[in-house]
Amino acid sequence: MRLIKVYFKYCLIQFKTLLEYKFAFYMQLLANALWCFVTFAGIWIIIDRFGSIAGWNQYEVLFLYSINIFAHGLSGIFIWGPMVNLGKIIEQGEFDTMMIRPIDSFWVLIMSKFSYTYIPWLLIPTYFFGYSLDHLNFSMTFTQLIFLILIVLNATLLNISILVITGAISFWTIRSSDILGLLYNANNGIKPIIDYPITIYPKFLQLLITIVIPYAFINYFPSIYFLDHKDTASFSPITVVFIPVVTLCLLGLAYLVWRMGIRSYQSAGS
Q: What is the pLDDT of residue 158?
A: 94
The length of the chain in residues reads 270
Q: How far apart are CA 12 and CA 15, in angstroms?
A: 5
Using one digit for the tens of pLDDT, what is the confidence trace for 35-75? 888 888 888 888 878 778 888 888 999 999 999 999 999 99
Give the span between the Cα atoms of 232 and 51, in whole angstroms.
18
**Which of 69, 21, 26 is closest to 44 using CA atoms?**
69
Q: Residue 81: pLDDT above 70?
A: yes
Query: pLDDT tens digits, residue range 84-137?
Result: 888 888 888 888 888 888 888 898 888 877 788 888 899 999 999 889 988 888
Query: Strand, helix or coil at 140?
Result: coil
- Distance, in Å, from the CA atom of 180 to the CA atom of 178, rounded to the nearest integer, reads 5
Is the model more confident about 9 or about 237? Answer: 9
Helix (H) or strand (E) holding 261: helix 243-264
Half-sphere exposure of 258 (CA within 13 A, CB side): 21
* Distance of alpha carbon 268 from alpha carbon 43, whole angstroms: 44
DSSP string, 102-137: SS-HHHHHHHH---GGGTHHHHHHHHHHHHHHHHTT
Contacts 24+ apart (CB under 8 A), 43-47: 43/195
In this prediction, residue 71 carries a pLDDT of: 92
pLDDT in tens, 140-156: 888 888 888 999 999 99
DSSP state of 56: E
Q: What pLDDT score does 269 carry?
A: 54
CA–CA gap between residue 138 and residue 189 (Å, rounded): 32
Q: How many whole angstroms separate alpha carbon 230 and alpha carbon 208? A: 22
- The residue type at 114: F
| End-to-end alpha carbon distance in the chain | 35
Q: How far apart are CA 138 and CA 216, in angstroms?
A: 23
Helix segments in 189-242, DSSP class H: 203-207, 216-226
Using CA atoms, how far apart are residues 63 and 86, in angstroms rounded to an integer? 33
Radius of gyration of the chain (CA): 20
Better-scored residue on pLDDT, 78 or 51: 78
Confidence of residue 157 (pLDDT cuts 50, 70, 90): very high
Reported as a single tens digit per residue, the pLDDT across 158-202 is: 999 999 998 888 888 766 666 777 777 655 678 888 888 888 888
Q: What is the pTM of this model?
A: 0.88
**CA 149/CA 155 separation, integer angstroms:** 10
